[in-house]
Amino acid sequence: MGPGLATAVRYLRQPLNRFKQYDKSNLRPDVMAGLSVAVVYLPQSIAFALIAELPPIMGIYTAIIGSIMAALWGSSNHMINGPTNAISLLVAASLTNFLQPNSLEFVIAAGLMAVMAGVFQLVLGLARLGMLINFVSHSVIVGFAAGAGMLIAINQIEPLLGLSLPDARMIDNLWAILLNLPAVHLWTLILGLVTMVVVIFIQRFYPRLPAILLGIVSASVILFLLNLDQAGVTVIGEIPASLPPLASLPVLDLELIARLSTGALAMGAIGLVQTSAIARSLATQSGQHLDSNQEFVGQGMANIASGLFSGYGTGASFSVSAVNSKGGARTSLAAISAGLFILIGMFAIGSLTVYLPRAAMAGVLLVVAYGMIDWAEMKRILTGTRSDAIIMLVTLLGTVFLSIEFAVLAGILLSFAVYIMKTSAPRVVPVLPDENYRHLTHQPDRDPCPQMAILEIKGDLYFGAVNHIEEEILAYAENNPSQRYLLIRMSRVNQCDFSGIHMLENIVRTYRDNGGDVFLVRVAGPIRQLMEATGCHHYIGESNILAEDDAISHIFRHVLDPAICIYECPVRAFKECQNLPKQVDWISIPTSRVVPRESVNTISAGELWQWLHLTDEQLIKGRQPDGQPKQKNGFAAELMARLGSLTEREVGQRPLIIDVREPREFHRGHIPGAELIPLRELLVDQIELPRDRPIVFVCQSGRRSRRAAYAWRQEEEMNVMILDGGIQAWEAAGLLEAVEIFVGAEMDES
């Protein structure tokens, strides 16, 4: 069994896991919480069915099936599933376009639509695509809920007033209601208003009581006592009490399936978004860990079962779930208990609904509709980011004025579009060490290092973002041409694809073509593995992928040109700059020109040491210091052959070693016999150097000496070279002892 199939089986076996892990001590609180939910949800389910233009019994069936199935296959311990106002409105809006409400075809289509939405949700869950819901903006839910609340309120004005008007668009419907106000049925309006007052009063002052149930009971008692059903007040009628029957759905009717597909997709999507938001909210309070994929499976199973057993689309209800949580529910058995109690309640009160005024249900739905509009949240979104405000307004206006399923899908697609826009244009910001040199932060008011830029990429390197990132980096490089070196901080880069690899290689190539280089820090493990697998790691070089704590120090000591640091740069951007002997205020030398690496001859530390220790006699006879003969005039011949410009006479002379560092660097250690001439004096003052003697320029790492050798070679026809790697190479070759002995002697003399 493959890992994917094993995971799918684990999701489908959730009911077994539920019962195996159940603690019997939770039974009583779960059952009592389920009873509280049933008292609230039974009348609500009837009201929601009326929103969907379906028989009231379908709302009860949906509450029974939805709560039980979602509890068995879901992951939340407190969430209650069943009919909701948003999904009910979505069903009505999707089906009334081509079917007659309350007709047999309408009822069958509602059940088939629920099955289609459930299959969509189930496939997403089994495919472990639960994370997709994270990309849908919260503004979609707020906008859709507000629009749905407005539509529900408008649709309930007619039954509240006791009017009977033909179906029309929202504006036409409102206009028709205004024209027919003289025909309002007074007792119907009174019952509706009484219900609203009771519900609002109890919710405000006695929130623990079942406000909706008591409001409906109040209106029903008035109707019964005054025989208002005989006075023209419309009632719901008797609800047939029976177990949810298996529906005969036209699952092979491809034409009907095609017409329902948009609505089913919207129902599945909005159901998942609502469910995830409610589940996360409840989990935050309870501390429960949720599995979004398992929740998708639970929603899918609930919708499929509801459609097959004479119900319609289900979703999570926040208000009822809150009742369940506050009622002391500990596990999902509370939701199962609620479904069973609703079933019992249906048998108990089914005959009493002949006294249930339709206006009372309209009053309940008007209160519910108003509660759907979260004015405070809408205000926060409008004063927040522009993208969230646009998503909310598009969804709201689309829900009110266009088809609801189009509005839902448009809001979801707009969320994805905003996400893609944001992730495809991540910020690339220059950063510098803070005042304590501990963290790299964006400090636009500080002057950067003129040689090296540090850029932080705040986003992933995937195909949709790499063009923007590359353009940002190259634009920065063009605006700061002196910064030939680049340090890229990748702490915010969590993902990288092959397009990202190509982008990194292009950036490195561009900087190297301009005589610089690129270094990386904070490269995540998976990205480093991808770089190694694609050869990018080899192209950039292991030495260019650094640990962040040592990166600036390494680049400062081995890469940056100290001549620029000392003579041109007044900035002390890094910790390593603080002790530099800055000379910019009283001398100016031409250091900005890039010196080609191959422009001057180099001599290694070993060769220079050997040359310094040869005698004239050994050079003439072509012998090494140990007296052994060597072919082709020995070491001298090899040195002349490699450098190409040395004559035998010049090799026979001792080279003049000129140290171009600053005095305090020189006094810390230098090559015995070296003469100190700082670079600024060498390039500016009238310094006389011998023309008939080879000269070896020395500095700390080879960069200042290369600049000195290049300048003297251009201006004077002299045989100059540099110590490759400078004093660092001299010490690395094991010649540190010579430096230490000389320094000690110098100190004794002083």
User: Token pair for residue 331?
Assistant: 């596990």
Selection from 567, 595, 572 nearest residue 583 by Cα: 567
Complete DSSP assignment for 557-626: HHTS-HHHHHHT-----SGGGTT----TTT------SPPPGGGSEEE-HHHHHHHHT--HHHHHHTB-TT
Residues 146, 503: Cα–Cα separation, whole Å = 44
Residues 460, 491: Cα–Cα separation, whole Å = 10
Half-sphere exposure of 722 (CA within 13 A, CB side): 27
- Return the beta strands (E) in 639-742 as ranges: 656-659, 675-676, 695-698, 720-723
**Which residues sit opposite 427 in a β-bridge?**
458
Cα angle 293-294-295, degrees, rounded to a multiple of 5:
90
Question: Residue 119 in contact with residue 103, Cβ under 8 Å?
Answer: no
User: Catalytic annotation on 449?
Assistant: no
Residues 44, 58: Cα–Cα separation, whole Å = 12
Please give the radius of gyration of the chain, using alpha carbons only, rounded to the nearest integer: 41
Helices and strands in the chain, H and E counts? 33, 14
Selection from 114, 417, 150 nearest residue 271 by Cα: 114
Residue of 496, 536, 565, 699 marked active site: 699
C-alpha distances out from residue 581 to 524, 563, 570, 670, Å: 38, 11, 11, 18
Q: Burial-class residue 534 by CB neighbours within 10 Å (0-12, 13-18, 19+).
A: middle
Q: Is 485 helix (H, G, I), strand (E, B) or coil?
A: strand
Other Cβ atoms within 10 Å of 577 Cβ, number: 16
**Which residues sit opposite 518 in a β-bridge?**
486
Residues designated catalytic: 699
